[in-house]
Amino acid sequence: MLRSLEELKKDIVEIGRLAYQKGWVAANDGNFSVRLEDNTILCTPTMISKGMMTPDDLIIVNMDGHKVSGRGERTSEIAMHLTIYSMRPDIGGVVHVHPPVATGFAVAGKPLNRAVLPEVIISLGSVPLAEYGLPGTPALTAGMIPLIPNYDALLMASHGAVCYGRTVWDAFFKMETVEHFARINLVAELLGGPRLLPRGEVEKLFESRSRYGISSNARMQPGNPIVAEDTAAAPELPAGVSREALLALIDEALMSRG
Ligand SMILES: [Zn+2]
């Protein structure tokens, strides 16, 4: 059964409260939206804590981003939401926040794209890193556009993360998986780095999605996620020697031979 507008407003208010409690947002950060039946978008307002909203704070815009109803100003990141809805007819809800560990990976320029945890491979495939774009401008979405068709969760370089799903709750739980996965990756790095799953096992996980009723656009493709064989194929460098230093040594050796 479809949820009423009042229920959908309550969903966004509740997700805002949870995101704030989880520390995924500070001050007025973050924005959430839901696609309504008439293809208008229910979204959060700008300049308000997402942990303290009421249903009356929410705003409805059309697919051009113009306000249809609501008393405040719509989120400044509405263009990102509209881009996702227009590229993905299957998407009904979008969650954008700055969860600290996943955002740490985004700030360090590291995607969460290694085959490490079965649940993450089944639900998300992998989480790539979209190039940086100035928030509140079309540049923000430019780096995401090539990725949106093939993934349901993105890290945004030097910024945060965005997830989208059939419902806004689906998007919220994907974000929970992203942040949990980022924390596990961080701990594994501290312990010497994660051991990656082999390609055959990753293929089985992708195939098992239908058993779990998971519909996702994220398909297995070369390098996404990175599997054990991908790293084994990379030439091992002697410990403590960077690739650049090694190339310089080779150059030097070649030159000395004339
Ligand atoms: Zn943001």
Asked if the structure places residue 173 within a domain, the reply is: yes
What local confidence, expressed as pLDDT, does residue 239 receive?
Answer: 57
- The tally of CA atoms less than 13 A away on the side-chain side of residue 64 is 3
Centre of ligand 1 to C-alpha 26, Å, is 10
What local confidence, expressed as pLDDT, does residue 213 receive?
Answer: 84
Residue 1 scores a pLDDT above 70? no
Asked if the structure places residue 231 within a domain, the reply is: no
Centre of ligand 1 to C-alpha 95, Å, is 10
Centre of ligand 1 to C-alpha 136, Å, is 9
Confidence of residue 83 (pLDDT cuts 50, 70, 90): very high
Run of H or E residues at 177: helix 168-190
Centre of ligand 1 to C-alpha 217, Å, is 24
- The pLDDT tens digits of the residues spanning 57-77 come to 999 999 999 999 999 999 999
Centre of ligand 1 to C-alpha 77, Å, is 8
Residue 4 scores a pLDDT above 90? yes
Q: pTM for this one?
A: 0.88
Residue 96 scores a pLDDT above 80? yes
| Residue 103 structure tokens | 């955002």
What local confidence, expressed as pLDDT, does residue 236 receive?
Answer: 54
Residue 237 scores a pLDDT above 70? no
Asked if the structure places residue 235 within a domain, the reply is: no
Q: Domain limits at 83?
A: 5-212
Asked if the structure places residue 249 within a domain, the reply is: no
Centre of ligand 1 to C-alpha 28, Å, is 10
Calculate the CA 121 to chain-centre distance: 14
Asked if the structure places residue 177 within a domain, the reply is: yes
Concatenating the DSSP letter of every residue in 17-57 gives: HHHHHTTS--TT--EEEEE-TTS-EEEPBSSS-TTS--GGG
Confidence of residue 249 (pLDDT cuts 50, 70, 90): low
Asked if the structure places residue 34 within a domain, the reply is: yes
Centre of ligand 1 to C-alpha 8, Å, is 22
Q: How many domains does the chain divide into?
A: 1
Centre of ligand 1 to C-alpha 144, Å, is 14
What local confidence, expressed as pLDDT, does residue 235 receive?
Answer: 53
- High-pLDDT (> 70) share of the chain, %: 91
Asked if the structure places residue 248 within a domain, the reply is: no
Beta-carbon neighbours within 5 Å of ion ligand 1: 160
- The pLDDT tens digits of the residues spanning 109-150 come to 999 999 999 999 999 999 999 999 999 898 999 999 999 999
Confidence of residue 241 (pLDDT cuts 50, 70, 90): low
Asked if the structure places residue 247 within a domain, the reply is: no
CATH number for 117: 3.40.225.10
- The pLDDT tens digits of the residues spanning 157-171 come to 999 999 999 999 999
Q: What is the mean pLDDT of residues 235-252?
A: 64
Centre of ligand 1 to C-alpha 157, Å, is 11
- The tally of CA atoms less than 13 A away on the side-chain side of residue 202 is 27
Kindly give, in sequence order, each residue whose CB lies less than 8 Å from that of residue 11, ignoring residues fewer than 6 positions away: 3, 34, 167, 168, 169
Residue 82 scores a pLDDT above 80? yes
